[in-house]
Amino acid sequence: MPNEDNIYPAATDAENSLQSDPQPAAESIISKLTNRVQAWLNVKGDVTQAEFLPLPLWLWALFAITLLSMSSQIKLPFSNGRLALSDLTVTLTFLAVLWCSWRKEEKIFYPLTGFFLLALFPLVNFFAASGMNGAFETAKLYQRYFCGFLVLSYFLRRSPFAVALLFSLGLFSNLLLAIAQTNIYGYGSIQAPADVLALPLGFGKALTGFFRSRMALSFYFAVSLTWLQPQWLGRNPGLLRCLLVLLATVLLLCFIPHGMMLVLCMVALLIASMFLHKRALLLNLLAILLVLFSLTMGQENTQRDTVLGTLTPCKSGAYAGELKTCHLDFLAALRMASLRPCCGVGAGRYQANIGRCYGELPNPSYNDIDSDTQAGWGILASTVGFPLTFFLALAMLGAMTLALCKYYQQESSPASQQLGAASALFVLFAGFFISNPMIGGLCWLLTAVVCSAIIPHGKELRCKLNELDTKGIIIGGILLGLLLLPLLMRKAVADPLQNASLSGSSGVRRAAATHVASNFVSHDSDFFLVVNASQVKEFTPPFEKHQDSQAADKLSLRIPDGKGVPPEGKEPAMEHGGALFEIELPKAQRCKIWLRTWWDGACGNTVNLQIDDEPRSITIGNDGTYHTWHWLESPRVYELEAGKHQIRVLNREDGIAFDQILITSDMEYFPQDIEEQP
């Protein structure tokens, strides 16, 4: 132990070494100055609960509610669901922490690197000219990674055990709800994104726990388990504790329905247990073997089908061998990022532009997997550019390395927390290629894991620049807020890709489409029929005609947002809104049907299609390309006889429009822009 009178141990040790090892005067002066600066920045001291004054019970109660709300995506039933319950509780707790730290004259840990990264977000959005959308998204980042980090840091330094306990309660609450949802709706059940967003609280009616999608729940279970399990076990667990942790691990692994996330979680658990102790390694090997046994042995079951179906990156059935939507979306996102590599298209404008960057890739016709599966690294690269994405990836890897170093340097209880943090960061880093953990709910877990990985404990060396008092927090918040002003003052660019060269993406696909179209004229076996909205024979409200300069014949059929959807429990039909078209085929055709659509948003991105007297219509849409005209194909191949046929486009959601229908026998054809009859 260092002498208590030795306030600057680093400087004193250096000075003693200088006296025993003479060196030139200039080098000696430089070394002394360097060590004095280091001594000013670093202070050796115990960071334990005894260092802080006790907190009032009401603050702990508020913090408990906040951590439980962080383990969910519950939204408040107003402001169109944009405000989550956790946003409200974190804001209240942040204000309470700020008041208590001022009263008790305490400092809160916040890394200087965090300020640097947060300051870069409004900077790149300024150059991307994202306007109000970029400012709003940046403000959300401030709340999550500035306010949320300070709240978690304030309590993690006092009681890591309490934080782990509360996150564990949230984890098992989600597990119990997932078990109940499995009994009611079935294992691996999902809902269309539009249907999820229409839920009053944002969750339910599928295997989602308190989250909005199966993917988000899988990500949450995987990260939480890898972070908390080393803390549950500790350095020297007894037999009873090992058995309880084994049971919890098996249950949680069984309720990770997404195959890729399940594999990531298993790998992270095995790696972490090698660093922990032999009992942990044996426990995780046994848990993984039990789960694999349930997936591979016995009769066919829904769990096996769900896990195996989400384990492969390729589709099955009629589209076997084709990459799934999320992976195609990742490739398109990287293509969009390459068009604006430095600053991207700006935050909040991903969905509006991604559909234009698929190029020769097949534009996804329907959501073949559940929501929240767009790759986070692709979203970051395309919205804020490659440099900032690289810095964020480097920061995650740095935090993971630092957590492992801390684990080896400590013998106290927080060491297990930091080993878990390193394991969870591995899952998060790899999971960024599958989904986006920066969305609501998962973002708090990302913040908590990073905080527990880098926060100082015990006798660790601390940097004064990373310790903020109340005044420093307020000044830091004001400075971050001021960075939003230039972003708000700069007029948003309507089309961030207007001056970007699309020759390497959509131009390739357009050229290919033109070439194929010419084949239709020269080959009698190919059938190609374009029907415009102006040719509608009959339509019923809430469908209405709309003059649109970007539509075929400058006319579209649309259902404005808020005009109504079919009654609950009723199938889409003409009586609830539809448009009827009649076509005539000279001979029998095996064909595809495409629809040129315009979506208002995630709650208005589907229509139903019905041919002749089909007993049930089929849904087209559930894609994420909003506020732009784009083509979508029906997921069905039609066998149509020669003669007249009726095509009905039926209301399923409001906030939609369409202007063209394309019927073609060429299964490889991808329409582009406004199509014309050859």
Residue 22: how many other CB atoms lie within 10 Å: 8
Confidence of residue 79 (pLDDT cuts 50, 70, 90): low
For the segment 110-151, what is each residue's pLDDT rounded down to a tens digit? Answer: 999 999 999 999 999 999 988 888 899 999 999 999 999 999
User: What residue ranges do the domains of the chain occupy?
Assistant: 9-44, 53-489, 522-664
Residue 666 CA to residue 528 CA, distance in Å, equals 8
> Environment class of residue 501 by beta-carbon count within 10 Å: exposed (0-12), middle (13-18) or buried (19+)?
exposed
DSSP state of 210: T
- Nearest Cα neighbor of 157 from 462, 514, 437 is 462
Percentage of residues of the chain with pLDDT beyond 90: 49
Length of the chain measured in residues: 678
Check pLDDT > 80 for residue 645.
yes
**CA distance from start to end of the chain:** 87
Instruction: Name the band, by pLDDT with cuts 50, 70 and 90, for residue 32.
Output: low
Where is pLDDT greater, at 460 or 532? 532
What class has domain 522-664? mainly beta
Q: pLDDT confidence of 159, banded at 50, 70, 90?
A: confident
Calculate the alpha carbon distances from 124 to 62, 80, 119, 491, 651 in Å.
Answer: 36, 28, 9, 14, 40
Query: What is the secondary structure of 390-412 as a DSSP string?
Result: HHHHHHHHHHHHHHHHHHHH--S
Between 29-43, 144-158, 339-353, 511-525, the lowest mean confidence (pLDDT) is in 511-525
The 10s digit of each residue's pLDDT in 164-221 is 999 999 999 999 999 999 999 999 888 766 667 778 888 888 889 999 889 999 999 9
pLDDT digits (tens, 9 = 90+) for 237-277: 889 999 999 999 999 999 999 999 999 999 999 999 998 88
Q: What value, to the nearest 5°, has the Cα angle with vertex 316 and ends 312 and 317?
A: 170
Q: The pTM is what?
A: 0.75
Give per-residue pLDDT as tens, 567-612: 866 788 899 999 999 999 999 999 999 999 998 876 788 899 999 9
Q: Which of 40-49, 334-343, 471-480 shows the lowest per-residue confidence on average (mean pLDDT)?
A: 40-49
Average pLDDT, the chain: 82
Contact 216, 207 (CB under 8 A): no
Q: What is the pLDDT, as a whole number, of residue 119?
A: 94
Element (H, E) at 649: strand 643-650
The answer to which of 61-65, 506-510, 545-549, 602-606 has the lowest mean pLDDT is 506-510
Strand-pair partners of 660: 532, 596
What's the pLDDT tens digit per position in 310-349? 888 877 665 567 777 778 888 889 999 999 999 999 988 8
